[in-house]
Structure 1
Amino acid sequence: MSEDSGKFKPFVPADSTLPEMTATSIILGILMSIVFGGANAYLGLRVGLTVSASIPAAVISMGVIRVIMRKDSILENNMVQTIGSAGESVAAGAIFTLPALFLWAGEGKTDTPSLLMIALVALFGGLLGVMFMIPLRTALIVQEHGKLPYPEGSACAEVLEAGESGGAKAATVFSGLGVSALYKFIADGLKLFPSEVHYELNAYKGAGIGADVLPALLGVGYICGPQVSSYMFAGGILGWLVIMPLIHTFGGDMTIFPGAKPISEMESFGIWSSYVKYIGAGAVATGGILSLIKSMPLIIRTFRDAVRGIGAKTGEANRQNRDLPMQFVLAMIVISAVAMWLLPMIPVNFAGALLIVIFGFFFATVSSRMVGVIGSSNNPVSGMTIATLLATTAVLKATGNVGMPGMIAAITIGSVICVATAIAGDTSQDLKTGFLVGASPYRQQAGEIIGVAVSAMAVGGVLYLLNAAWGYGTDQLPAPQATLMKMVIEGVMNGNLPWALVFAGVFIALVVELFSIPVLPFAVGLYLPIHLSCPIMIGGLVRRWIDKKKGLNETERKERVENGILYASGMIAGEGVVGIILAVLAVLKLDPDISKLLSLGNIGGILFFVLLIATLIYFMNRKTAEKKQAA
């Protein structure tokens, strides 16, 4: 493969006419968009992280189209992952911000947002993200080929091109999904054992330790790897085994704001929710801003180069260099902005709509290029959203838009921009995959619009369902990112935060930065209960074990790591799907709980989690084992 974009030959030539945007690919893509969007919404509201859906969607598509339907079309599979991955990005943007509205409603400060309002905010944010990316495709994807690697997009193209093994890979994803779904139902449906194992360390007052013994967290740890997992776990250790015992020791019988009772009477969760959560919030906000500051030279260069490249031509016209017409792109941007301004269910005035277009175009441009360098997993979407909220809330306050109306307007603007930023990064990764395999950009862009529209309609229902079942800000759904965004807006608008705790988190983050440790994963570990980072750490250790295992050649090691990633992706999707099903049962007052008849307790939870780890190791090694038996 030549690194010169002018000489690059995609997997499928431009003059080939393979099926691409078919009824099969659209329907499968829509299903993937709903499934992975819902699963990521549940995961993000629980742990503050989402995972890419492109590769699992592509693998499942290959299993259906190539193996079951006996069709051979790499471009159809690419269309499925294009549409399917949009659901994950819309979900990420929505759950990082919109649950703040439910939290305010729970406090009696405003009405619960309508389904239509959530759907429209997600829809317009997603449409703007796609539209802002389209004029940049030639500059970023084509002209920068060989310079911008787009790691997830390139990896997805490799999976698609290796589609002959799609059946085995799809089976691995489905196995993870099935095992995880059954496990989740036994744990949180039947409640045969507690999904959260917890022990108070009575000899070390104020401290606690435990783990949420759930498949999604194990899968997240495996996919993130040992380094990121260890940063999160280190943050959890600092909070639960250092700061909290110190608070208990020095606080004694005092009642200190924002706590409501004497510290000596609090158990570990009480100390965490009253004090450490605010320290963690300061650290997370600082981590997001630091990542933005460090990226500023790249951001400025990205914006300048991308804008210069708008409208560039790339040789003779064919299906592989056609984008959706620029007239359509501009019309969609204008219609979206005017609709947000005029529609009464979206609390945005003309100035707010203008801010959305300005900030949205800037950050969508930045996101589109940055994911080409550092990957979607490291894209500082939360940092960009925090920066947007700080600026927007300050502008609204300065112009007299104060109180709850001003805060609702701020979170709405931030939500649209957050979704746009996430979708722009996803679109650029998908277009990179399409460029490598030889897809038609205009069809992919139409597919992105379909994925955005479907997932925007679905995400409101998911948010309502999860809130009705458990409520945001609870142990089941802490909604960490949205809670942080809410605190940022309230801090700027009202100044009612416990600033001493927040600034303690700020300076902890700065110390971590001085040690050259990535601040965001550490800060997220400090912000969330240690029960989440502990199983993530175990998943990271499993990944480290296979990465360092002796006696494997590079091909075998790569194959086992990939099997593990596919199985872990299935585990995440399976838990998310059953989590939503259990939420439906909770709303319908149908409780399959059998814990009063039989409960295995914490020991049962630990033993089942060990069995879950064993399944991950088994499926990670299974294909290589089969090859050895065949040999």
Structure 2
Amino acid sequence: MGKLNNAVMDKEGYEPYIPPEQSIPEFTLTSIVMGVILGLVFGAANAYLGLKVGMTVSASIPVAVISMGILRGMLRKGTILENNMVQTVGSAGESLAAGVIFTVPALIIWGLEPRVTKIFLISLIGGCLGVLFMIPLRKFLIVKEHRNLPYPEGTACAKVLMAGDAGGIKAKTVFLGVGIGAVYKFLMGGFGLWEEHPAWNLFKKVNMKIGIDAMPALLGVGYIIGPRIATYLFAGGALGWLVFIPAITIAGRGIDHPIFPATTLISGMGPHQIWNNYIRYIGAGAVCLGGVASLIKAAPTILESFKLGFDELRHGISGKAEGVRTQRDMPMVIVIIGALVSV
């Protein structure tokens, strides 16, 4: 959303959509309430989807479209900055859900059973830390590196909001998608016209099996994430079910004792048991390694971002020093104190 709410360097020839000297409603009760409601809806949907298939989808663009449809289409009011606030708050629900569903199940697998109150506190503190750590990163990642980091999703979301502000976007497409998905699910689950999880055994002796999750949500996910990421997911599934599971089956035939973490012989397992006992841990390790690799790759950028933030602190520059509406940041003193309190 850098082109909406962040002024970029004048020497680059970019100007914010709303001029810095212009002040219009942004942080309003309507925008916060609507953002919270949409955040709950998309957070719950992403929590279900993430636990079901192991991935979530961003809610920024759908929330922006729905917000435009409600504020500008139904209520006939609302500014583009209010809609930006709605999508910011609403998309936070999806991010928070992802943070919970990809970490708390690991604690349960390890034998811990965190209570709801503890999960709530973990989510609250983690969310606060995420916001606080993003403040010193903004100037470097969004302002200074705006040419090198295109932020395709944020740019698309900004285009949606700007088109809606000009009267060129309708929310009916999103609601049409919801209706089609509901009818699809009803015909599949209610009337049983087709199976939700069809599967076929290719070579039963080696547990080689393929299957499909014919969920309407996954059709939407595939469209949103695009062919590249969808190909990665398909390749991972094919590798697990067509290569690893048969290989483990063949290798385990002559082993006369269970191999940790399983408690039964591999020779007595079906494909789903092998996946549950071995393949999902391989996948978890791949995710962990990918996260570490991404962190190492991004380390120089992160260090440079914090360097800029601490330079401001050292020179006594507050968030209001520049005086430009689009360049005001929370003072670094508050960021540091908030982070220390959260930790």
| Pairwise TM-score range, normalised by the shorter structure | 0.7 to 0.9
* Aligned partner letter, 2:282: I
Residue 599 of structure 1: aligned partner: none
Counterpart-to-counterpart distance in 2, 1:187 and 1:58: 30
Name the residue aligned to 1:35: 41
Partner of 2:252: 251
Q: Structure 1 residues 185 and 253 mapped into 2: Cα distance closer, same or farther (>3 Å)?
A: farther
Q: Is the 8 A contact 1:139 1:306 kept in 2?
A: no
2:31 pairs, out of 25, 30, 50, with 25
Give the Cα–Cα distance (whole angstroms) in 1 for the partners of residues 101 and 337 of structure 2: 28
- What are the equivalent positions in structure 2 for 1:343-358 lying under 5 Å apart? none
TM-score of the superposition, structure 1-length normalised? 0.48
Q: State the secondary structure of the residue aligned to 1:21.
A: coil
Partner of 1:89: 95
Matching residue's letter, 1:54: S
Question: CA distance change for structure 1 residues 328 and 308 in 2, over 3 Å: closer, same or farther?
Answer: closer
Query: Aligned residue for 1:51?
Result: 57
Cα distance 1:287–1:26, how it changes in 2: closer, same or farther (>3 A)? closer
Give secondary structure in 2 for the equivalent of 1:201. Answer: strand
- Matched residue SS, 2:35: helix
Supply the AA of the counterpart residue of 2:103. T
- Partners in 1 of 2:238 and 2:229 — Cα distance? 14
Shift of 1:263: 3.3
Query: Among 292, 296, 303, which residue is 1:289 paired with?
Result: 292
SS in 1 for 2:206: coil
TM-score (norm 2): 0.83
CA distance in 2, matches of 1:296, 1:331: 23
Contact preservation (8 Å) 2:40, 2:93: yes
Higher normalized contact order (CA 8 Å, seq sep 6+, divided by chain length): 1
Partner of 1:239 in structure 2? 240
1:332 maps to: 338
Identity %: 50
Alpha-carbon offset, residue 142 of structure 1: 3.6
Q: Unpaired runs of 5+ in structure 2?
A: none
Gap change, CA 1:225 and 1:252, over 3 Å in 2 = same
1:130-170 deviation digits (Å, cap 9, x = unpaired): 122234434443444445433322222111111145553x1
Paired position in structure 2 for 1:230:
231
After superposition, where does 1:308-319 map in structure 2 within 5 Å? Answer: 308=311, 311=317, 317-319=323-325
Q: Is the 8 A contact 1:18 1:75 kept in 2?
A: yes
Which residue is equivalent to 2:271? 268
- The alpha-carbon distance between structure 1 residues 241 and 315, as it changes in their structure 2 partners (threshold 3 A), is same
Query: Which residue, 10, 15, 20 being the options, matches 2:21?
Result: 15
Structure 1 residue 318: Cα displacement:
4.2
Q: Which amino acid counterpart does residue 36 of structure 1 have in structure 2?
A: F
* Offset of residue 271 of structure 1: 2.4
| Contact kept? 1:55, 1:81, Cα under 8 Å | yes
Q: For 2:331 and 2:168, how far apart are their aligned partners in 1?
A: 35
Query: Which deviates more, 153-162 or 195-204?
Result: 195-204
Distance 1:298 1:144, change over 3 A: closer
The Cα shift of 1:240 comes to 1.3
Deviation of 1:74 after TM superposition, in Å, equals 0.9
> What code does the residue aligned with 1:89 have?
S
Q: Is the 8 A contact 2:32 2:86 kept in 1?
A: yes
For the Cα contact (< 8 Å) 2:136–2:305, is it kept in 1? no
- Secondary structure at 1:154 match in 2: helix
Deviation at 1:66, TM superposition (A): 1.0
Aligned to 2:21, what secondary structure does the other structure show?
coil
Task: Give the drift of 1:248.
Answer: 2.5
Counterpart-to-counterpart distance in 2, 1:152 and 1:124 = 26
Aligned residue pairs, count: 331
Cα distance change on mapping 1:273 and 1:101 into 2, 3 Å: closer
Residues 20, 76 of structure 1: 8 Å contact kept: yes
**Alpha-carbon deviation of 1:12?**
1.4
From the two aligned structures, give the one with the greater helix fraction: 1
300 and 19 in structure 1: CA distance in 2 versus 1, 3 angstrom threshold: closer
AA partner of residue 82 (structure 1) = T
Q: Report 1:71-470 matches (<5 A).
A: 71=77, 73-104=79-110, 109-110=111-112, 112-163=113-164, 164-165=166-167, 167-168=169-170, 170-188=171-189, 193-202=194-203, 205-252=206-253, 254=255, 255-258=257-260, 259-308=262-311, 311=317, 317-326=323-332, 328-337=334-343
Aligned residue for 2:174, secondary structure, equals: helix
The answer to whether the Cα contact below 8 Å between 2:253 and 2:266 also exists between their aligned partners in 1 is yes
**CA 1:308 to 1:237, structure 2 compared with 1: closer, same or farther past 3 Å?**
same
Q: Hey, what's the Cα distance between the residues in 1 that align with 2:32 and 2:320?
A: 29
Q: Contact 1:33–1:87 (CA<8 Å) still a contact in 2? A: yes
Q: In 1, Cα distance between the equivalents of 2:287 and 2:328?
A: 41
> Do 1:5 and 1:144's aligned partners in 2 also have CA atoms closer than 8 Å?
no
The alpha carbon displacement at 1:236 in A equals: 1.9
Deviation at 1:117, TM superposition (A): 1.4
Secondary structure of the residue aligned to 2:200 is strand
Asked if the contact 1:36–1:53 (Cα under 8 Å) also holds between the matched residues in 2, the reply is yes
Cα deviation, 1:530-564, whole Å, max 9, x if unaligned, reads: xxxxxxxxxxxxxxxxxxxxxxxxxxxxxxxxxxx
Between the aligned partners of 2:178 and 2:251, the Cα distance in structure 1 is 47
Structure-to-structure mapping, 1:497-536, within 5 angstroms:
none
Can you list the C-alpha shifts for 1:396-439, whole angstroms capped at 9, x where unaligned?
A: xxxxxxxxxxxxxxxxxxxxxxxxxxxxxxxxxxxxxxxxxxxx
